[in-house]
Amino acid sequence: MSAKPTPFDKAIEAIAAAKYHNHRLETHSDTVSTALFEDLLATCTSLRSDWEQGVVKVWKNVRAPGGRRRKVDLFVGEPTADGRPNVHTVRIAVENKSVITAHRNATNRFDDLREVLGAIYSARPEALIVATVLVGVSPQVLNIPDQVHRFYRDREEEFAETILPRLSSGDAGLWDQFNWAVSHNRSNDPLRTVELLRTLPTRLPGHTHLEGYDYVLLAPVLIDNVNPPLLPRPNELGIDVDSEYRRMLERLCSAYTARWHM
């Protein structure tokens, strides 16, 4: 464990507290966004100065331009006269995704990230655009939101009293009891997902004429909703999340300072 937890550690803690990962809600994304912005303020004096002086404000789940009207998870920018977000004055946009329950959905998340990138870049090319993705490395996942919880949709009290306390506790009996709700991942699925996500367009600092993410951070996670969730260090994908996260903070601060303080 690193001396200071990353936003992904905090997401894991939130999932453990909730007892399972609900990929249908924005809870994990909000946790990551909050912690990331706090770390940026703590490590980047130029951003902190703008924040304290009211030059920029922060919002979550701001609608992005485009036909499908997707939301940007973390939006930092210059507010309008009445204090609302304006995509044309955005300075930092962060999109948080997860590929955990079924890696066959990785292409959908990839397409989502491409769409958000295009929408933000077309509105303000110099905005810092970031993607983070939790990549599941568990061989199987018990699908609670779409399967188990739905099975108890007319028996919420029974679910809360007899099933919820057993989730993420190591109760292996859940696998047999709800074998029809288990999603299986092939051994090479996490690596294939990582390889796909690494084809997202990125750009070097200062290359704002190119449409690309300023940083894409992939965080391997062990989440199966049966065993306690974990951010594995080390992990089978060879990703050093702590080093990657520090590098991302440094690069974002350097780019922010260069674009709006020089």
Give the tens place of pLDDT for each residue, 93-137.
Answer: 999 999 998 788 899 999 999 999 999 999 999 999 999 999 999
State mean pLDDT over 146-174: 97
What is the residue whose two structure tokens read 């440094």?
A: 250
- Rounded to whole angstroms, how far apart are CA atoms 75 and 127? 10
Give pLDDT tens digits for 220-262.
Answer: 999 999 999 999 999 999 999 999 999 999 999 999 999 999 8
Q: Does the pLDDT value for residue 2 go beyond 50?
A: no
Q: Could you give the CA distance from residue 62 to residue 64 in angstroms, rounded to a whole number? A: 6
**Per-residue confidence band for 3, with pLDDT thresholds at 50, 70 and 90:** low
| Per-residue exposure over 48-76, b if at least 16 CB sit within 10 Å of its own CB, e if not | eebbeeeebbbbbebebeeeeebebbbbb
Q: How many residues make up the chain in this entry?
A: 262
Per-chain mean pLDDT for the chain = 94
What's the confidence (pLDDT) of residue 148? 97
Angle between helices 106-123 and 189-197 (to 10 degrees): 10
How far apart (Å, rounded) are the C-alpha atoms in residues 214 and 220?
A: 20
Structure confidence at residue 64 (pLDDT): 82
- Which 3-state string (H, E, C) describes 182-245? EEECCCCHHHHHHHHHCCCCECCCCCCCCCCECEEEEEEEECCCCCCCECCCCCCCCCCHHHHH
At residue 207, what is the residue type?
Answer: H
User: What is the per-residue pLDDT across 43-96, written as a single tens digit (0 to 9) for each?
Assistant: 999 999 999 999 999 999 998 876 566 789 999 999 999 999 999 999 999 999
pTM of the model: 0.95
Asked if residue 196 lies in contact with residue 107, where contact means CB atoms within 8 angstroms, the answer is: yes
**pLDDT recorded at residue 68:** 64
| Statement: residue 1 has pLDDT above 50 | no
**Domain locations in the chain as residue ranges:** 7-140+187-260
Tell me the pLDDT tens digit for each residue of 216-227. Answer: 999 999 999 999
pLDDT of residue 67: 53
Rounded mean pLDDT, 172-197: 96
